Amino acid sequence: MSFELLDTKETSTSEGRSCAILCNFNAKEIKTISSLAGMIGIRDKIVISYKNGNTLVKDVLEGNILNDAEDGVKSKAIIFNNIPGAKIGLFIENLKKFRLNNVLKATVTETSKEWTVNVLLKNLTAENIAMKSGKNFEHEE
């Protein structure tokens, strides 16, 4: 499997944009997530929807977002980029208190930067199913 345990003691970041990409949330959910993110110091958020699914993750981070996917993946996800593990862990823990369920969570990796948002969300969904069923999982590209 490709899962890695989140280092919740990690407090440093590398170079690049520190942000959270919010996929397929409604306005009320975005407000809740934004408040929670702000409380732990995640100020930069990028809001996208299934219509942006053909955009490469690295292009989302640079603000070059396509709006041409009519059949994009509609799963809700929060994708963290260059956020320390300690903040992500705290964020995820508090997310449960706000009763936002069935939200996929991930961090941007060197591999996933080259994927479209649709490919990333499909892989996250498959990983989630594999985790729940205890099966192995191989990424599709």
What are 48-70's pLDDT values in tens digits?
999 999 999 999 999 999 999 98
Instruction: Say what the pTM is.
Output: 0.85
- Rounded distance between C-alpha atoms, residue 122 and residue 141, angstroms: 10
> Which phi-psi region, left, alpha or beta, contains residue 115 (left: φ > 0; alpha: ψ -120 to 50)?
beta
Q: What is the pLDDT of residue 102?
A: 86
pLDDT digits (tens, 9 = 90+) for 21-40: 999 999 999 999 999 999 99
Q: Within a 13 Å sphere around the CA of 113, how many CA atoms are in the beta-carbon half?
A: 9
Please give the backbone phi and psi of residue 126, each rounded to the nearest 5 degrees, phi first: -65, -40
CA–CA gap between residue 50 and residue 52 (Å, rounded): 5
Three-state SS for 78?
strand
| Model pLDDT for residues 96-108, shown as the tens digit of each residue | 888 887 899 999 9
